[in-house]
Amino acid sequence: MLKGTTIVIFIVNLVWAQSSLSVTTRTGVFTGGLNDTYPDVRHFKYIPYAKPPVGSRRWASPEPLDSSSEAIDSTVFGPSCPQYVSAVPTVWALNITGNLIVNFGESLLAGEVAQNSAEDCLSVAIWTPANATSDSKLPVVLFFTGGGDVTGGVNIPTQLPANWVHRSQSHIVVTTNYRVNIFSYPSARGLNGSTNFGLQDQRLAVEWVAENIASFGGDPKKITLWGQSAGASATDMYLFSFNEDPIIRASISSSGTSFLGPTNVDFGGTNFTFVAKSLGCDFADARLELECMRRIPVARLENFVGQYQDNSTLVNTSQPAISFVRQVDNKFVFSNYTERYLNGLVAKVPTILGTTAREGSALVPYPVDNPIAGPSNESIINETLEFVCGAYNTSVLRNQIGLSTYRYEWAGNFSNISPVSWLGAYHYSDLYEIFGTYLIAPGDISDLEVQTSEKMQGYFLDFITDPSSLPTNGWPEYQVNNQKTGGTLAQFGADGKVVQFVDGNSVEGPCHIPGDLYNTSP
């Protein structure tokens, strides 16, 4: 009887979920679907949050959408923002599963524009429990993908949160496309210093979610902003740009802070002008240069910039490099974050800061001539400490002005997600556990990995649901009292243990204790 009743309840719930797949918002009526693997999860894979940044809106601040009742199919992902598939061999392309945007058969070393990218790309995707309604008022986490401000987007297999939402049935996850590379950080002469468009895209995504997420079952007063790598530093920078009106109530930065990330104070437009001249837009007049470049097709722009950068790495290492990175404008990117902290010019929200034990193993140059040996341990440690010390310095400053901070180190080394021996707990690998996408990685899955993933998901959910709940649930705030005793870190997956809480100095001692050595495999 009980078994039959369960089946009936499941069928009723499924029929109800099917009827709730169309959601009305101010900007359109979106019809989603149920996840193939987890039918108790509802997804909306394509929801525009801004007007297309094309034509005269290329290299301009994003514009909010007009009100609309248009019916939009949201069962298929929209394109990622324009980006290039590098021909330079990396562990991301050759050794690690599912960490790049889906390009439908295009080689991971194509040396061409990503075929699943387009300029009309400013969209979010939303995952909710299938039975969520406008009365559910579920907490929301809004995720900014990484990619070094060069690549990235929503449609990355290991960043799809269906497993996590399936397990919790009590929160909503939103992920975001935003502009990168030359389309985000052009530093063009004709823009008179206007730049950092990707960071502006992110703010508009937050605003759209706050305005419309209630229709999907979310609570606009319970939004947590989370980012990884470039998305993590952008999340931290967001707290300064919008300190007076953050909209969000908490933040998480996994492998990145405002102290980390390439920035450029030069608004001279040298790189942009070099590209413009190379593509036939050779004008002394900055306005004409910009107008001409706005007419260059996306693929031509991406292929020129990407192939030039590839050539600088693979063929002609003496060739002057070009890059398009965040620029200090003291509006979205500031010149002195320490000063802004000490002056209290930061959003007063609780924060989780995370790092991985071997951040650098997947980031330093890939040893193509000796892939089994891997990069030197010294180079891995030096790169890793950039992240670790950035998190430490941020935590100390937050302590000084009384902001709640929680810290974690991901130290698990599981062969299915780290198939090369020297990778270890590399930059990005914690995402497999939090999203629950370690399940799609080839190879054996240990009980320890399953338990560690579930524990990380649980703690993140606790924080998203109630940012003040972590100490009650066993994860204490990070507080530095003196040089000898560091703040407490949650250390996941280290030494055969799901989680342990350790003295921060055992991880970040080299950041402030002379002669202390860093351990990449705790």
d(CA 131, CA 519) in angstroms, rounded, equals 45
Identify the CA nearest to 426 among candidates 480, 366, 349, 479.
Answer: 366
Q: What is the mean pLDDT of residues 109-134?
A: 98
Looking at residue 20, its pLDDT comes to 85
Identify the CA nearest to 183 among candidates 277, 54, 318.
Answer: 54
Looking at residue 263, its pLDDT comes to 58
Looking at residue 262, its pLDDT comes to 57
Q: Read off the pLDDT of residues 176-202 as tens digits, 9 standing for 90 and up.
A: 999 999 999 999 999 998 999 999 999
Counting the structural domains of the chain, the total is 1
Contact 206, 47 (CB under 8 A): no
Q: Read off the pLDDT of residues 343-361 as tens digits, 9 standing for 90 and up.
A: 999 999 999 999 999 999 9
Looking at residue 9, its pLDDT comes to 46
- Residues labelled as active-site residues: 229, 359, 427
H helices present in 59-103, as ranges: 91-94
- And the tokens for 333? 């990117």
User: Which pTM does this prediction carry?
Assistant: 0.95
Q: Read off the pLDDT of residues 123-175 as tens digits, 9 standing for 90 and up.
A: 999 999 999 999 999 999 999 999 999 999 999 999 999 999 999 999 999 99
In the predicted structure, residue 8 carries a pLDDT above the cut 50: no
Looking at residue 223, its pLDDT comes to 98
Identify whether 300 is part of a domain: no
Looking at residue 316, its pLDDT comes to 81
Contact 226, 353 (CB under 8 A): no
Identify whether 499 is part of a domain: no
CATH code, 34 = 3.40.50.1820
- And the tokens for 413? 């080394």
Q: Read off the pLDDT of residues 230-283 as tens digits, 9 standing for 90 and up.
A: 999 999 999 999 999 999 999 999 999 999 765 554 545 689 999 999 999 999
Looking at residue 18, its pLDDT comes to 54
- The full length of the chain comes to 522
Identify whether 502 is part of a domain: no
Looking at residue 2, its pLDDT comes to 42
In the predicted structure, residue 3 carries a pLDDT above the cut 50: no
- Full residue range of the structural domain in which residue 86 is found: 2-178+192-257+330-485
Q: Read off the pLDDT of residues 67-92 as tens digits, 9 standing for 90 and up.
A: 999 999 999 999 999 999 999 999 99
Q: What is the mean pLDDT of residues 333-352?
A: 96
Looking at residue 313, its pLDDT comes to 87
Q: Read off the pLDDT of residues 351-387 as tens digits, 9 standing for 90 and up.
A: 999 999 999 999 999 887 888 889 999 999 999 999 9
Identify whether 103 is part of a domain: yes
Identify whether 216 is part of a domain: yes
Q: Read off the pLDDT of residues 401-426 as tens digits, 9 standing for 90 and up.
A: 999 999 999 999 999 999 999 999 99
Contact 324, 307 (CB under 8 A): no
Identify the CA nearest to 267 among candidates 179, 332, 329.
Answer: 329
Lowest mean pLDDT among 7-11, 53-57, 394-398, 466-470: 7-11
Average pLDDT, the chain: 94
Identify whether 342 is part of a domain: yes
Looking at residue 7, its pLDDT comes to 54
Identify whether 172 is part of a domain: yes
> Tokens 């003196």 map to which residue?
482
Q: In the structure, what pLDDT confidence band is assigned to residue 318 with cuts at 50, 70 and 90?
A: confident
Angle between helices 270-278 and 298-314 (to 10 degrees): 110
Percent of the chain at pLDDT above 90?
A: 88
Identify whether 481 is part of a domain: yes
Three-state DSSP state, 175:
strand
Contact 514, 483 (CB under 8 A): no
